[in-house]
């Protein structure tokens, strides 16, 4: 599968497997993280920003106090692609 080939919902869910932390939501990969406080949440966002800039693949996210919602989608294909799963793996490494 090409890096920019669109994944169907079924393909994405199969790829996620038993990972209950990430979900399929509105044709995107989605995860909510809750941190100790705003400083920790913002620090995590900063770490993702550095990864995203290096990969030239930028997530959509929202931050309210200590909560960070992350949405991964590839705008060039109008949905989820291999690039999103690569970014998901990089984000997961930051969390562990």
> Within 13 Å of residue 74, how many CA atoms lie on the same side as its CB?
21
53 has catalytic annotation: yes
Marked catalytic residue, from 40, 58, 69, 82? 58
Marked catalytic residue, from 9, 19, 60, 76? 76
40 has catalytic annotation: no
Bridge partner list, 70? 31, 61
Bridge partner list, 62? 69
Marked catalytic residue, from 5, 9, 19, 75? 75
Tokens of 10: 């079924």
Marked catalytic residue, from 19, 37, 53, 92? 53
So which residues are the catalytic ones? 53, 57-58, 75-76, 84
């Amino acid at each position: 599968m090409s890096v920019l080939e669109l994944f169907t919902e079924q393909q994405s869910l199969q790829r996620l497997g038993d990972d209950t932390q990430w979900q399929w939501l509105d044709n995107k990969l989605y995860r909510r993280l809750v941190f100790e406080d705003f400083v920790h949440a913002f620090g995590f966002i900063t770490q993702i920003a550095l990864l995203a800039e290096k990969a030239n693949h930028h997530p959509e996210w929202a931050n309210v106090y200590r909560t960070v919602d992350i949405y991964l989608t590839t705008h060039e294909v109008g949905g989820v692609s291999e690039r999103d799963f690569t970014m998901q793996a990089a984000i997961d490494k930051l969390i562990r």
